[in-house]
Amino acid sequence: MLIQQHIRVTVDAVVFGYSAKQGISVLLIKRKIPPHIFKWALPGGFVHNDESFEDGIKRELREEAGITINYLEQLYTFGAPERDPRGRIISIAYYALVDPSNFKLAPDTDAEAAQWCPIDELPFLAFDHKEIIALAQERLRNKIRYEPIGFELLGKKFSMAELESLYTHLLGRSVDRRNFQKKILSFGFLKTLPEKQKHPQQGRPAQLYSFDEKKYHALKKEGIFFEV
Amino acid sequence: MLIQQHIRVTVDAVVFGYSAKQGISVLLIKRKIPPHIFKWALPGGFVHNDESFEDGIKRELREEAGITINYLEQLYTFGAPERDPRGRIISIAYYALVDPSNFKLAPDTDAEAAQWCPIDELPFLAFDHKEIIALAQERLRNKIRYEPIGFELLGKKFSMAELESLYTHLLGRSVDRRNFQKKILSFGFLKTLPEKQKHPQQGRPAQLYSFDEKKYHALKKEGIFFEV
DNA sequence: CCAAAAGTGTTTGTAATACACCCATGA
DNA sequence: TCATGGGTGTATTACAAACACTTTTGG
């Protein structure tokens, strides 16, 4: 039984960014071709015949937004027969974590505009992209409970308060400052830097930390647990 | 930029079964067409143009083995450009849990033979299927720690010892019999049946239990945690 | 010296762990 | 009555959770 397939394959990315002001944001692009022309959508596009999914994602993100990715992981493959009006098009969705302060958004080819949108203020989105974001958010919320991937959303140096605020946003609830610090430091994958935060807007300058990837990977091998 | 895609899409399933004698097994089929003719492989095949992935999986499993699925979940999509000698063929992998005592394997169309193979005694497998099984096993091991999907591998009635033995196999370590029972019963989603195991080979007959899906789903909504 | 945010320890409750003897059955 | 596997309770330990005052800085 040989059936001629007409299925096309896209990759789409849910790119998460974090800033103290806006909280968790997602990168959206405004479509400049049909279908759903001028609607907001996830960055992504058709996979080339000879490239891996990850290469495809990175190419699209370069083309559409010019960003630097800290973490990239496959999320889920969406393939409902009616999800795209152009015919059978499946989407292999990835999610990515970036530090938005690291670069300026620079839309290039397929997208009219690339923009950060706070996760709680999403506009109407093309295709099933809202569903994809919802799944990515759930995955992220689960994942940070047993792997410290939250660090990928921060810059190289950060204060304990910034880290705590990030987790507060990710978990959707507040945590006790003292218990949080105790727990995080007990893992031993934070380096205490010999410098303090410069020019706080108000109050005492905070100790700065950085993430020690070497120590983290050593810990990870013996199985980490990370409930905060 | 329009690029003509030539990517074909398959679905493959890692079907887990459990028996007291063999432990955790995976369903394999012997290929009767090239490539990798006469090699063992995962059940699966090309997705039809108008069917969902899950429908495709179920159709393939019906055709190739005639089995009844208790649990089915998407695992990962494999798409390395060189993973199939026929060209660019990606595989959307699912994993499934079944109760093997529930049916007899009945190979039909594409497969010469369908057979259970203990997870620790896998033969050479076609394509990247060994990698797929490894990922499925890891996922299963993680998942049973926060959701009681292990029950899908058992029959309707089971003794505490059978359940414990299942978890021992899944987790790859032994657990304390008393603590295990205490923990499991404390969740309250087991029904104590008014009957005992008949004709034990030796020793005292065991109390039988069944899984109470209603209570489980109620619990699940308020977030279950299940470390054993 | 005042406002603002950072830093820090102790107590209490709860859940995980470790551990050993008696019970019911079939041969 | 013996061998085999099933059933059960308690003490200890470790970790999570709750909680408030002092310190440093800039204005």
Give the mean pLDDT of A55-74: 92
Structure tokens at A212: 């020690």
pLDDT band at B146 (very low <50, low <70, confident <90, very high): confident
- In our burial notation (b when 16+ CB lie closer than 10 A, e otherwise), range A176-194 reads eeeebbeebeeeebbeeee
B228 within a domain of the structure (yes/no): no
Say how far residue B153 (Cα) sits from the centre of its chain.
7
Q: Structural domain of residue A79, as residue ranges? A: 8-143
User: Where does a domain end: B143, B175, B200?
Assistant: B143
- In our burial notation (b when 16+ CB lie closer than 10 A, e otherwise), range B151-187 reads bbbbeeebbbbbbbbbbebbeeeeeeeeebbeebeee
Sign of the CA dihedral A34, A36, A42, A46?
negative
Within this chain, do residues B68 and B128 fall inside the same structural domain, yes or no?
Answer: yes
**Do A81 and B52 lie within an 8 Å CB cutoff?**
yes
**Distance, Å, B202 CA → C27 C1':** 9
Q: What is the model's pLDDT at position B63?
A: 87
A12 within a domain of the structure (yes/no): yes
Indicate if the pLDDT at residue A175 is higher than 90: yes
CB A88 within 8 A of CB A135: no
Structure tokens at A61: 């993100």
Within this chain, do residues B66 and B174 fall inside the same structural domain, yes or no?
Answer: no
CB A119 within 8 A of CB A173: no
Interface test with A, best of B50, B54, B64, B90 (most A CBs within 10 A): B90
A37-56 residue pLDDT tens: 999 999 999 999 999 999 99
State the count of interchain CB pairs (< 8 A) between A and B: 67
CB B152 within 8 A of CB B70: yes
Within this chain, do residues A24 and A134 fall inside the same structural domain, yes or no?
Answer: yes
Indicate if the pLDDT at residue A2 is higher than 60: no
**Distance, Å, B202 CA → C23 C1':** 14
Q: What is the model's pLDDT at position A144?
A: 86
> Does B160 contact strand D, using a CB cutoff of 7 Å?
yes
Q: What is the model's pLDDT at position B102?
A: 80
A98-157 residue pLDDT tens: 999 887 776 655 556 899 999 999 999 999 999 999 999 999 988 888 888 888 999 999
Average pLDDT, chain A: 90
Within this chain, do residues A139 and A174 fall inside the same structural domain, yes or no?
Answer: no
Interface test with B, best of A2, A47, A147, A226 (most B CBs within 10 A): A47
**Do B77 and A77 lie within an 8 Å CB cutoff?**
yes
Instruction: Dump strand ranges (E) for chain B.
Output: 8-19, 23-31, 40-41, 44-46, 71-78, 89-97, 111-118, 158-159, 190-196, 207-211
Within this chain, do residues B115 and B161 fall inside the same structural domain, yes or no?
Answer: no
Give dist(CA A160, CA A179) in Å, integer: 12
Shortest Cα–Cα distance, B84 to chain A (Å): 12
Q: What is the pTM of this model?
A: 0.92
pLDDT band at A227 (very low <50, low <70, confident <90, very high): confident
Q: What is the model's pLDDT at position B17?
A: 95
Q: What backbone torsions phi and psi does residue A36 show, to the nearest 5 degrees?
A: 60, 35
Chain B residues with CB under 8 Å of A1 CB are 109
Distant-in-sequence, close-in-space partners of B121: CB < 8 Å, separation ≥ 6: none
**Distance, Å, B199 CA → C22 C1':** 22
**Distance, Å, B164 CA → C22 C1':** 21
Q: What backbone torsions phi and psi does residue B25 show, to the nearest 5 degrees?
A: -125, 160
Say how far residue B21 (Cα) sits from the centre of its chain.
17
User: Where does a domain end: A79, A108, A143?
Assistant: A143
Within this chain, do residues B70 and B111 fall inside the same structural domain, yes or no?
Answer: yes
Give the mean pLDDT of B203-218: 91
Within this chain, do residues A103 and A200 fall inside the same structural domain, yes or no?
Answer: no
B70, B74, B76, B80: CA torsion to nearest 10: 100
Within this chain, do residues A198 and A116 fall inside the same structural domain, yes or no?
Answer: no
Within this chain, do residues A94 and A174 fall inside the same structural domain, yes or no?
Answer: no
Q: What is the model's pLDDT at position B3?
A: 63
Q: Residue A134: is it exposed, middle or buried by C-beta count within 10 angstroms (0-12/13-18/19+)?
A: middle
- Structural domains counted in chain A: 2
Give dist(CA A42, CA A165) in Å, integer: 26
A195 within a domain of the structure (yes/no): yes
Q: Return the CATH number at B190.
A: 1.10.10.10
Within this chain, do residues A37 and A127 fall inside the same structural domain, yes or no?
Answer: yes
Indicate if the pLDDT at residue B226 is higher than 80: no
B192 within a domain of the structure (yes/no): yes
B1 within a domain of the structure (yes/no): no
B164 within a domain of the structure (yes/no): yes
Give the mean pLDDT of B78-97: 96
Percent of chain A at pLDDT exceeding 90? 68
> Does A178 contact strand D, using a CB cutoff of 7 Å?
yes
Q: How many CB atoms lie within 10 A of CB B140?
A: 21
Q: What is the model's pLDDT at position B148?
A: 83
Average pLDDT, chain B: 90
A149 within a domain of the structure (yes/no): no
Q: What is the model's pLDDT at position A200?
A: 75
Q: What is the model's pLDDT at position B24?
A: 94
Give dist(CA B64, CA B143) in Å, integer: 27
**Do A49 and B8 lie within an 8 Å CB cutoff?**
no
Q: Return the CATH number at A115.
A: 3.90.79.10
Within this chain, do residues A98 and A12 fall inside the same structural domain, yes or no?
Answer: yes
Within this chain, do residues B42 and B74 fall inside the same structural domain, yes or no?
Answer: yes
Indicate if the pLDDT at residue B104 is higher than 80: no
Chain A residues with CB under 8 Å of B1 CB are 109
Give the mean pLDDT of B177-195: 93
Q: Which residue has the tokens 């369908």?
A: B114
From B102, B121, B12, B117, select the one nearest B64 (Cα to Cα): B12
